């Protein structure tokens, strides 16, 4: 019951100001967002990759309101690419982007977001890595897929995300699987109405399995974005049935969540990528992590009381 309330709060400016200013919030946020600057996060990347994990890096931020902010987002990612280039790990260190941060919701948003994200995708390709377009709320997806199609003409490795909770996703998965895309499948983290999305956990889980089958049987590269132990073993079984080799799919999890499982899957020979977010505008990302597991909220509240 708490999840939807927290998701609604994630869109509230008043809550954003309150939570961001709370004196103890930062220490709780660190569990999910291990740095505010690229300098702070490079040692984290070195630590994760040193343990045999791959990463996808996200500069947090979304829902910007000016073209200058969209350009600043582009520049923050270009700075990140430079640093990833210095590490020399190629596709082991990729990036995830939210197109809303690149101007997607501003006037002329599709062209603007494409113009801002393209140099990042180009720079990524130049250091042997790639970019995945995150999925945001359902109103943004047609534009995200159009930008994905456009980028893939020059950079076919560009990935995208699909969300099992949306009714439209099976159809999207069929198209993407046939096109040979890199696709991350997640359950979905936004507050969506019943008109477009399953609301119950068991319905979402069933949809996840149906979509995963489509991806595994297709000719693309499935990226299983989940911490759910049941779905992870189903994914292993489906990969086996589809005769996929370990380098023909990968698991992905979020930094700070089930970290032992990251290492266990990597030790079993699976490719495991850790989605690692950093930056100062962490509010929306942080609130979605609280909404996914309301026990996190109790941890957060307790830390405020005991300080
Ligand atoms: P759940 O059933 O929610 O969780 C399974 C178990 O994992 C829980 O029982 C718990 O033990 C643990 N767990 C899950 N979440 C948390 C948490 N926050 N804190 C502590 N423990 C937790 N969503 C989007 O809408 N768009 C995206 O682009 C997107 N990208 C993602 C990228 C990656 C790599 C991952 C892993 C998730 C992404 N998500 C994205 C979020 C996703 O939609 C889910 O909200 C999130 O993954 C939780 O679902 P789950 O599959 O882990 O299953």
Q: Tell me the average pLDDT of the chain.
A: 93
- Residue 235, classed as helix, strand or coil, is helix
Q: Phi/psi class of residue 64: alpha, beta or left (left: φ > 0; alpha: ψ in -120 to 50)?
A: beta
CB atoms within 10 A of CB 303: 14
Q: Is residue 290 one of the residues assigned to a domain?
A: no
Q: In this structure, what CATH number is given to the domain that contains residue 44?
A: 3.20.20.220
% of the chain exceeding 90 in pLDDT: 80
Q: Is residue 53 one of the residues assigned to a domain?
A: yes
For 14-43, the pLDDT digits (tens) are 777 777 777 666 778 889 999 999 999 999
- Could you tell me if the CB of 293 is within 6 A of ligand 1? yes
Count the domains in the chain. Answer: 1
For 136-195, the pLDDT digits (tens) are 999 999 999 999 999 999 999 999 999 999 999 999 999 999 999 999 999 999 999 999
* Predicted local confidence at residue 114, as pLDDT: 98
Q: How far apart are CA 54 and CA 158, in angstroms?
A: 17
Can 184 be counted among the known catalytic residues? yes
- Could you tell me if the CB of 28 is within 6 A of ligand 1? no
Q: Is the pLDDT of residue 307 over 50?
A: no
For 84-122, the pLDDT digits (tens) are 999 999 999 999 999 999 999 999 999 999 999 999 999
Q: Does the structure's ipTM exceed the value 0.90? A: yes
Q: Is residue 26 one of the residues assigned to a domain?
A: no
Can 134 be counted among the known catalytic residues? yes
Q: Is residue 271 one of the residues assigned to a domain?
A: yes
Parent domain of 83: 33-281
- Could you tell me if the CB of 249 is within 6 A of ligand 1? no
Spatial neighbors of 7 by CB under 8 A, at least 6 apart, are 190, 191, 287, 288, 291
Residue 165, CA distances (Å) to 50, 266, 291 in order: 34, 27, 15
Kindly state the greatest CA–CA separation across the chain: 54
Q: Is residue 194 one of the residues assigned to a domain?
A: yes
């Amino acid at each position: 019951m708490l999840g939807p309330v927290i998701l609604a709060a994630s869109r509230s400016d008043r809550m954003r100001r309150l939570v961001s200013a709370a004196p103890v919030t930062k220490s709780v946020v660190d569990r999910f967002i291990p740095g505010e600057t690229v300098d702070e996060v490079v040692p984290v990347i070195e630590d994760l990759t040193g343990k045999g994990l791959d990463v996808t890096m996200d500069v947090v931020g979304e829902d910007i309101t000016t073209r200058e902010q969209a350009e600043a987002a582009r520049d923050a990612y270009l700075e990140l690419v430079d640093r990833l280039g210095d590490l020399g790990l190629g596709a082991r260190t990729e990036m995830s982007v939210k197109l809303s941060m690149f101007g997607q919701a501003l006037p002329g948003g599709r062209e603007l977001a494409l113009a801002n994200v393209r140099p990042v995708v180009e720079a990524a390709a130049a250091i042997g890595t790639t970019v995945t377009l995150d999925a945001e709320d359902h109103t943004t997806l047609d534009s995200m897929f159009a930008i994905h199609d456009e980028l893939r003409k020059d950079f076919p490795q560009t990935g995208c995300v699909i969300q099992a909770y949306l009714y439209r996703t099976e159809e999207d998965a069929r198209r993407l699987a046939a096109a040979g895309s890199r696709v991350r499948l997640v359950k979905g983290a936004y507050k969506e109405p019943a008109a477009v999305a399953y609301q119950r956990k068991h319905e979402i889980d069933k949809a996840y399995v149906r979509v995963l089958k489509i991806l595994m049987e297709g000719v693309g590269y499935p990226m299983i974005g989940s911490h759910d132990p049941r779905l992870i073993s189903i994914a292993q079984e489906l990969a086996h049935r589809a005769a996929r080799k370990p380098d023909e799919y990968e698991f992905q999890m979020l930094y700070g969540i089930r970290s032992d499982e990251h290492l266990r899957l990597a030790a079993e020979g699976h490719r495991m990528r850790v989605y690692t977010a950093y930056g100062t505008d962490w509010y929306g990302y942080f609130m979605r992590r609280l909404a996914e597991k309301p026990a996190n909220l109790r941890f957060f509240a307790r830390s405020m009381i005991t300080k």
